[in-house]
């Protein structure tokens, strides 16, 4: 049987990839990072679901996979190589140049059309001549806009991670509103151009059919976010942990809820794991000083690898994860898989976690008292802690494994070819 040639357009980072590419931020990037308080160029894992999917693809012999990935601070313009049957095409992201980087962040962060990136990706597509193109994430225009340039005779799939257009009426912060609006416009163009839209979520499908593309065709594919269940004993140092790639997402909300719970139980502690800039950290520091929490809250910053993150969250007894608009983020599922009972908030997706059994403690968004009450319940009720730990692990185990996710990818590619031209 002839292999199906597939091109993935995506972004990801893991220690092995960084070692091969020998990524090092320039001195100027380090200086800018120091001046702005943002860790520009600092290496860390990202998009772990793409790494997971690639690992599963290595085990298959029915697909010839080509992975196209933009990388900031790549020392060469392009790096191409093959490993374990997977062919990689890394290229220097167009905002790696220090002047373009500054210009982009000052003027075009949400409106750039990424023409240089797209031209490079289009060249790779012409070189690969894939049977199918699969783009992982519409909300990342620095690579997802390349779907617009794929020749009409090649079937395309846009895999949804989020649906920013749908969030415009939900977010409150000015920055989030701007991002959802501008990136949402690009997202619409990509969805309208794609032959198939990958998402298992009925809410996403209904929104797209009603507001974006009435004749949209969907495939039941998802991200490879399966987590290994590990309920082994842990040596804990903290009571609660808050985790986010960028703690500005809901770090302030976590502090507000923690402060209320700490009044009732002054001995409790909170570990905050994730990246931040100096401006937001000052906001949190002011709130911590106001509530006299300096001895109770610790910041870890953004950790370099996914393994480091898992090791760190396992040092806590419980997870405190207020959410604003995430459906069910992988950070929450990682807590469930690692035996941390979760206190979180109600979004479109989180109530589903309790559909078969109570797996997380839910409260309304911005109801810090309700969150604090749930935190105290965990601290005071050992039976509740045990029940949530076991239920959450069972609920997480019912999600599709990464192997099943990739199996669906491959069946979808076969379908794309069998219906091509129809």
16 and 140 share one domain: yes
270 and 406 share one domain: no
Q: Which residues contact 148 (CB under 8 A, 6 or more apart)?
A: 118, 189, 190, 193
Q: Of all helices (H) and strands (E), which one includes residue 320?
A: strand 316-321
34-76 confidence digits (pLDDT tens): 655 555 556 789 999 999 999 999 999 999 999 999 998 888 8
Domain count for the chain:
2
Checking if the pLDDT of 172 tops 80, the result is no
Q: What are phi and psi of 181, to 5 degrees?
A: -65, -55
pLDDT of residue 75: 83
284 and 326 share one domain: yes
406 and 365 share one domain: no
84 and 183 share one domain: yes
Q: pLDDT band for 2, please (50, 70, 90 cuts).
A: confident
Q: pLDDT band for 399, please (50, 70, 90 cuts).
A: confident
Q: Which residues contact 233 (CB under 8 A, 6 or more apart)?
A: none
Cα separation, 77 vs 287, in Å, equals 44
318 and 266 share one domain: yes
Please tell me which residue, 130 or 38, carries the higher pLDDT value: 130
Cα separation, 40 vs 45, in Å, equals 14
Q: pLDDT band for 327, please (50, 70, 90 cuts).
A: confident
257 and 211 share one domain: no
199 and 61 share one domain: yes
Q: pLDDT band for 411, please (50, 70, 90 cuts).
A: very high
The alpha helices in 11-139, defined as continuous H runs, are 15-21, 27-36, 48-57, 98-103, 115-128
242-299 confidence digits (pLDDT tens): 999 999 999 999 999 999 999 999 999 999 999 998 889 999 999 999 999 999 999 9
Q: Is 327 helix (H, G, I), strand (E, B) or coil?
A: coil
Residue 72's nearest CA partner among 110, 35, 43 is 43
Q: Assign residue 194 the CATH number of its domain.
A: 3.40.50.2000
Checking if the pLDDT of 396 tops 80, the result is yes
Task: State the residue range of the domain holding 91.
Answer: 4-224+401-418
Structure tokens at 345: 């908030």
Q: In this structure, are residues 307 and 63 in contact, taking their beta carbons and an 8 Å threshold?
A: no
Q: In this structure, are residues 121 and 92 in contact, taking their beta carbons and an 8 Å threshold?
A: no
Q: pLDDT band for 100, please (50, 70, 90 cuts).
A: low
Q: In this structure, are residues 53 and 406 in contact, taking their beta carbons and an 8 Å threshold?
A: yes
pLDDT of residue 294: 96
Cα separation, 125 vs 85, in Å, equals 18
pLDDT of residue 68: 98
Strand order in the sheet with 361-363: 297-301, 270-275, 238-246, 316-321, 342-345, 361-363
146-157 confidence digits (pLDDT tens): 999 999 999 999
Please tell me which residue, 372 or 171, carries the higher pLDDT value: 372
Cα separation, 145 vs 141, in Å, equals 5
pLDDT of residue 98: 62
In sequence order, what DSSP letters do the residues of 156-177 get, joined into one string?
A: EEEE-S--HHHHTTT--SHHHH
Structure tokens at 140: 């990342």
pTM of the model: 0.85
Does residue 232 lie in a domain region? Answer: no
Please tell me which residue, 340 or 182, carries the higher pLDDT value: 340
Does residue 266 lie in a domain region? Answer: yes
202 and 287 share one domain: no
């Amino acid at each position: 049987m002839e292999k199906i040639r597939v091109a993935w357009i995506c972004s990801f980072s893991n220690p092995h990839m960084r070692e091969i590419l020998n990524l090092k931020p320039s001195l100027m990037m380090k200086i800018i990072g120091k001046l702005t308080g943002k860790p520009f160029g600092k290496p860390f894992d990202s998009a772990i679901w793409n790494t997971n999917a690639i690992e599963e693809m290595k085990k298959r012999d029915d697909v010839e996979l080509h992975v196209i990935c933009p990388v900031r601070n790549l020392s060469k313009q392009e790096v191409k190589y093959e490993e374990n049957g997977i062919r990689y095409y890394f290229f220097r992201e167009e905002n790696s140049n220090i002047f373009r980087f500054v210009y982009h962040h000052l003027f075009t962060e949400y409106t750039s059309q990424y023409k240089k990136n797209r031209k490079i990706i289009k060249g790779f597509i012409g070189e690969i001549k894939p049977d199918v193109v699969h783009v992982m994430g519409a909300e990342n225009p620095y690579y997802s806009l390349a779907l617009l340039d794929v020749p009409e005779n090649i079937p395309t799939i846009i895999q949804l991670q989020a649906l920013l257009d749908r969030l415009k009426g939900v977010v409150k912060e000015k920055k989030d509103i701007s991002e959802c609006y501008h990136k949402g416009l690009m997202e619409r163009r990509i969805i309208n151009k794609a032959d198939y839209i990958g998402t298992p979520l009925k809410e996403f499908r209904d929104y797209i059919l009603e507001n974006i593309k009435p004749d949209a065709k969907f495939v039941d594919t998802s991200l490879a976010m399966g987590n290994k269940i590990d309920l082994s004993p842990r040596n804990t140092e903290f009571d609660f942990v808050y985790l986010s790639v960028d703690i500005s997402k809901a770090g302030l909300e976590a502090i507000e809820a923690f402060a209320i719970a700490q009044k009732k139980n002054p001995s409790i502690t909170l570990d905050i794991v994730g990246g931040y800039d100096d401006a937001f950290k000052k906001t949190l520091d002011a709130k911590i000083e106001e509530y006299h929490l300096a001895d109770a809250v610790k910041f870890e910053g953004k950790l370099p690898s996914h393994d480091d993150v898992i090791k760190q969250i396992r040092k806590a007894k419980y997870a405190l994860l207020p959410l604003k608009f995430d459906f069910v983020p992988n950070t929450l599922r990682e807590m469930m898989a690692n035996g941390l009972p979760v206190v979180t908030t109600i979004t479109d997706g989180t109530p589903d976690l309790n559909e078969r059994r109570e797996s997380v403690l839910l409260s309304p968004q911005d109801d810090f008292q309700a969150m604090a009450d749930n935190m105290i319940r965990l601290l005071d009720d050992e039976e509740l802690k045990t029940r949530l730990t076991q239920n959450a692990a069972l609920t997480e185990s019912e999600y599709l494994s990464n192997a099943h996710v990739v199996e669906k990818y491959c069946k979808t590619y076969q379908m794309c070819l069998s219906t091509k031209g129809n």
